[in-house]
Chain A
Amino acid sequence: MFDKRLIREGRSVWRFLLLTISLSIGIALLAVAQAWFFSGVVSRVFLEGANLKETWNFLLMILAIIITRAIFQWGSEVSAFEVASYIKLNLRERLLKHIMSLGPLYTRGERSGELISTVIDGIEALEDYFSKYLPQLLLAAGIPFVILCFVFPRDWKSGVILLVTGPLIPIFMMLIGKLAEKKSLQQWKDLSWMSAHFLDILQGLTTLKVFGQAKNQTRVIERVSESFRRSTLSVLRIAFLSALMLEFLATISTALVAVTIGLRLVNGTLSYSSGLFLLLLAPEFYTPLRTLGLNFHAGLSGVNAAARIFEILDAPLHNEENVNQTEFKTDTPALPGNFQITFQDVSLTYQAGGAPVLKGINLSINSGEQIAIVGPSGGGKTSVAQLLLGFINPTSGNIQINGVSLNRISKEKLLNEIAYVPQNTYLFAGSVAENIRLGRPSAGFEDLVRAAQEASAHEFIMKLPEGYETYLGEGGTRLSGGQAQRIALARAFLKNAQLLILDEATSSLDLESEKYVQEALARLLQGRTALIIAHRLDTVFQADRILVMDQGQIVEAGTHMELVREQGLYHSFLKEYRGEIG
């Protein structure tokens, strides 16, 4: 509950943290003063028969204290917000930056949803940790101590009651909190289970209707919902029970203090004003402890979120070593006019101990060449592109450009010379124009349109509701697979880079799109060096060289005609396929 690394985050805003705490201690001291003046006024009026005029000074003091306390209270909340917001802003940026540095391979597949929610909700969960839980933790230790300093000199019995019951509150809180933690994990699972169940039904609603079972699902919804209610209540019962204990300790002790003081007053061993003063201090003693109890949950979710955040931040950057080698980087352009890219004995394993994806690959790409890689899926084709783009480093072996190791070439410069069209085009939330401009953000509108025209995208873009200003992405106009691909090609045209890396889409396009995409591709390939990861045969026919990859190795290489003559894997691909439709 007192996560060291989280606390370290707090260091940069220690001023605001200190301000929050000082103001809160100020509030506690003012409360003591208010209690003192209040008991003074009441006692003088009640026992000494003082009138309004005689107590006016005290009353004005109370008024001043009330107003000051309100201001302090406002100030402490506002400064607690500053602590939390600074840390949130800073940590969110660092987290996102780190994930981006980890590269596209880290966010592969289903993890991205979880990462997004960590960056958004996980960070947001820290707010209550820093604005409520952490200051309260310190105050719960400090304020009761301050109060006791006033109680003990006047009535040690009341002091002992407070001293004995006070620590019980955090102890109960922790015991019950531990229990609740287990239960709330279960609760979280139940909620996910319910969600999954509902999603299953919603996604299958059409299927259910076809089989006439949709109406029957009402009962299932009712049952699932009802069991969720029961499990929620059983969790809440523990939370309520903990609240009951906190409340109970605080109120029963106040009652005990009142009775003890009452009896001493009867005996005349304590003055009325001191007695009333002590009675008013009792709630002040318990308030910080109770508030801590209420914020226990905020602390818990903050620590849990922090565990995940730091886990991500601790993930080592794969290219850390070449960051250190910056000084060795050459100044020459990343891709000189005449270049040769060579893979020497390159092997790649994604996870230590996992099966290798590439096993001792040797290949070379000369400027002006167009090379296609074909082979069964899972054969390691895409990994070659990822290595060349620097998304991942080879586990062993060496990649060189004109004899210079890829490690020693500025990644940024290299990427400037490459246009990459990935297998699945991602469209960003933004206009069509913004999406194409990704290729070259400084491009003027005319260049943009020319790129779209070359990518056979201009026509369909003009048919969109707002042309180039049509909003794409989540909540925007949805494009078909073929249209999205042409946007990707327009990006590549706009970038106009020397080297083109193309990962063809596997999903089948409708006929019309297919034709346009092929035309645009042919234009794009003209006069460029290209590495094409091919899923279709017709792009392959035209390549200067075809590499056939299987199980992480290059098993065949040559032109189309050569490979057909060789009667190997490539040939059987072709035959199997033609036999199928013939």
Chain B
Amino acid sequence: MKSATWLIHMMLPYRRRIILALILSSLTVTSHIGLMATSSYLLARAALHPPVLDLMVTIVGVRFFGISRAVFRYLERYVAHDVTFRVLSQIRVKFYQAIEPLAPARLLNFRSADLLRRIVADVEIQQNLFLRVMSPPIVALLVLSGYGFFLARYDLRFTAILAAGFLMAGLLIPWIVKSLSRGVGLSIVALKTKLNTQVADSLLGMTELVAYGQAQSQLISVRHTNERLTDQQRRNAWQTAFSSALTWMIGNLSMWFILILGIMLVEQGKLSGVNLGMLALGTLSSFEAIVPLAQVPHHLEQNQAAAERLLELIQAQPTVKDHQSMVSIPKDMSLVFKEVSFKYGEREPWALHRLSFKIPQRGKVAIVGASGAGKTSVVNLLLRFWEFDQGSIELGGHSLRDYSQQEARNYVGVVTQRTHIFNATIHENLLLANPEASDEDVKSAAQKAKLHDFIQSLPKGYDSFVGEGGFKLSGGQRQRLAIARVLLKNAPILILDEAMEGLDPITERDVWEEVYKLMEGRTTLVITHQLTGLEKMDEILVLDKGQVVERGKHGELLEQNGFYRRLWNSRVALHAAT
């Protein structure tokens, strides 16, 4: 229900357009009623052979309704969809605004494909909320009261029959169908998911399936799921057909009862026979307003599920919060970790346990260790993506928590293997680091990162598109772009987080040259599991399971004949032959 309130809140600013859409929608149905009612009235009048002039008003009425219905329908659809898409656009913006502070800590458990599905598909489904969930009952109610009022002028019992028909077709049948189909919808969704998984398994895991001779049995299990899905879909189809046939029948039965009541009234002289056909056919036409009601529960269910998925993230609290009124200016660019402990979740093991180190201004420290040793956690804490549990981190003599998230990040330049290259021009990708940078600045950063010549060789130079629809950057070029970004940002602290991962040895050596230049004059933290380029470090920390097991300079650590030495030796065997 929370999700419904939220969605309605999103719609409030557009209430005028919404009301207009509802009125237009009711007028569409009214025109339909009007056409059939005035037509049959015209025939009945004409059957009494009056002068043609007497019929002119009715004839104009018939022609008016003949045209107006199509026009109203067009306007109604246009207005309703326009307002719906305006709301959707707002929902997307709200969703993004809500998840932005959550990244990356709270979004760790969501794949980007899942988030994308929410911001695109789950939002897209919300278009049904107004068009298929909220609008139909309101329109039905408007038509019921409008036409009911018209019928009441002849006899109140006509209105009673109409109301009974509307209630049965509009409330009772959807309710019956909903209780009948309880579970069917869910099991269709579940089976579809299962089918999807099995088909994905069949195609993505085909190598294994074929090699292990399991292709046939996989096909059989897909068939099995497919058959079960068909069975559920059949149940669903039976119910849908049942409800639409029943709705149609109730409309006709209402007409039938109106006809009988009409005949009785004519017999008693309380109703002119001229009106008989008009009342009956008008009633039948008014049931057009009921037809979309049958699908309301179905759409409501879908809508709610999607809305809840959206709200789940919109209402999530960010892990890290900025304190109020914090203005800290670092005294220098030193970094200190004191007994820092951190875990990703209550029940998780320590990712870092009592980690202490100090990097003086312009100092160079490396953290090495196998994957899962906790190296990346250090970066996550420094960038204030996560909040540490115990100990303290100081930047320039102040606690890191005294800086706002954005301020803390402003002091830090990061080169990581995960640097995202946006599907935009090279120029835009570089400008990201410093939107105010001049073309000269961008060019000089690219030159320093040894990327300039390559960019110049592209047909469109700095305006060439990267990624989809453009060209792909090689691993080395990506890293150089990341370096150029850091140069543009010109942050006093530099973090290299597995920056050389995935580069071939020759490229790696070249990139290191640029990195060494980048380190000059900056406080540097290098995070790596490869041991190249560490000779120039002031200190190397060897991390295992969140704790420092060895520390010292490269030469010292090699002499210690411990973990670092073993890592060093195993590189011979580890390195790819290709």
A residues near B (Cβ < 8 Å) are 38, 41-43, 45-47, 49, 51-52, 55, 59, 62-63, 66-67, 69-71, 73-74, 77-78, 81-82, 85, 88-89, 92-93, 96-97, 99-100, 103-104, 107, 112, 115-116, 119-120, 191, 194-215, 217-218, 221-222, 225-226, 228-229, 232-233, 236-237, 240-241, 243-245, 247-248, 251-252, 254-256, 258-259, 261-263, 265-266, 268, 272, 275-276, 279-280, 283, 374-377, 389, 391, 412, 415-416, 418-420, 422, 425-429, 438-439, 441, 473-474, 480, 491, 495, 506, 508, 510-512, 514, 534-538, 540, 573, 576-578, 580-581
Contact = CB atoms under 8 A, between A and B. Distances in A.
Contacts of A77: 237, 240-241, 244-245
Contacts of A245: 70
Interface stretch (B2-10, B71-79, B166-174): B71-79
Contact of B63 (A213, A259, A534): A259
Given A259-B59, A259-B63, A210 B412 contact: yes
B45 to A, nearest CB: 8
Contacts of B383: 209-210
Contacts of A97: 219
A211 B576 contact: no
Contacts of A191: 120
Contacts of B92: 221-222, 225
The 3 closest A-B pairs by CB, nearest first: A255-B66, A204-B420, A46-B273
Contacts of B195: 120
B329 interface: no
A508 B237 contact: no
B419 to A, nearest CB: 6
B266 interface: yes
Interface in B49-107: 49-50, 52, 55, 58-59, 62-63, 65-67, 69-71, 73-74, 77-78, 81-82, 85-86, 88-89, 92-93, 96-97, 99-100, 103-104, 107
Interface string B145-158: 00000000000000
Contacts of A512: 370
Contacts of B119: 198, 202
B211 A420 contact: yes
Nearest to A376: B578
Interface string B357-387: 0000000000000111000000000010100
Given A52-B263, A426-B207, A251 B420 contact: no
A256 B38 CA distance: 12
A272 B47 contact: yes
A397 to B, nearest CB: 22
B208 interface: yes
A221 B96 contact: yes
Contact of A217 (B63, B100, B485): B100
Contact of B100 (A197, A215, A225, A279): A215
Given A196-B468, A416-B213, A266 B253 contact: no
Interface string B403-429: 001100110101000111011000000
A212 B410 contact: yes
Given A46-B44, A74-B242, A225 B93 contact: yes
Contact of A96 (B219, B264, B575): B219
A473 B201 contact: yes
A422 B211 contact: yes
Contact of B46 (A206, A248, A263): A263
Given A45-B263, A116-B200, A207-B420, A415 B212 contact: yes
Main secondary structure of the interface of B (DSSP, over half): helix
Contacts of A208: 420, 432
Nearest to B482: A207
A217 B96 contact: yes
Given A46-B277, A429-B198, A439-B212, A255 B577 contact: no
Contacts of A46: 44, 47, 266, 273-274, 276-277
Contacts of B505: 576-577, 580
A473 B194 CA distance: 12
B227 interface: yes
A268 B48 CA distance: 9
A301 B284 CA distance: 33
B103 A206 contact: yes
B202 A265 contact: no
15 contacts: A78-B241, A99-B203, A200-B467, A206-B103, A206-B104, A218-B93, A218-B96, A221-B92, A225-B93, A229-B86, A247-B70, A251-B66, A262-B45, A262-B55, A580-B575
A262 B46 contact: yes
Nearest to B194: A429
Given A236-B81, A508-B574, 4 more contacts: A88-B230, A100-B219, A233-B78, A251-B65
Contacts of A89: 226-227, 230
Interface string B215-231: 10111001100110010
Interface in B31-50: 31-32, 35-36, 38-40, 42-47, 49-50
Contact of A248 (B70, B215, B432): B70
B43 A272 contact: yes
Contacts of B432: 207-208, 211, 213
A100 B206 contact: yes
Nearest to A581: B571
A538 B574 CA distance: 8
Contacts of B104: 205-206, 209
A42 B59 contact: no
Contacts of B206: 100, 103-104, 107
Contact of B199 (A78, A116, A536): A116
Given A89-B226, A240-B74, A263-B46, A255 B65 contact: yes
